[in-house]
Amino acid sequence: MVTIERKFRGLELWDVDDVSSSVREEATAAALAVLDAEGVSPIEARYAQFNLEAMDDRGDLDDGADLASGGVNEKHLKAGRLAESAASEIIQKLAPDRALPHLMLGVEEWALDQYQATQVDPTKKA
């Protein structure tokens, strides 16, 4: 198996095309640091959010919803949200004129492809 070395282990930020690449890199590094501190990989964080969105699409998301039954790992979801907040803080500090304050964590295609082919998470911290 070939491991592709990437600067942020496959983590990327979505909806931040309007900020400079240097700001994006610093924000992505901040998000990855939070995920690492929480012991959650970028793929784990993304899958938690994806499963939450799927529950919402099915109409299964209400105040009493059992997130685990929808495949949502709450620890991973929380870590992803903390990581998004860390990235947002960096962007707000370094690019205060940015029009859209929202962003999402994403995972690069190579990492998803490798995970789906092998069921081994290439975005986990070694």
As for how many domains the chain has, the answer is 1
Classify residue 89: in a domain, yes or no: yes
Domain span at residue 96 reads 11-118
Q: What is the pLDDT along the chain (126 residues), one digit of tens a residue?
A: 444 457 798 899 988 888 889 999 999 999 999 999 999 999 999 989 888 878 777 777 777 777 887 778 889 999 999 999 999 999 989 887 776 667 889 899 999 999 999 999 999 988
Classify residue 2: in a domain, yes or no: no
Classify residue 95: in a domain, yes or no: yes
Specify the pLDDT at position 100.
Answer: 61
Specify the pLDDT at position 99.
Answer: 61
How far CA 98 is from CA of 67, 69, 72, in Å, comes to: 33, 38, 31
Specify the pLDDT at position 120.
Answer: 93
pTM over 0.85: no
Classify residue 74: in a domain, yes or no: yes
φ/ψ of 120, rounded to 5, equals: -110, 125
Distance CA 116, CA 107 (A): 12
Classify residue 48: in a domain, yes or no: yes
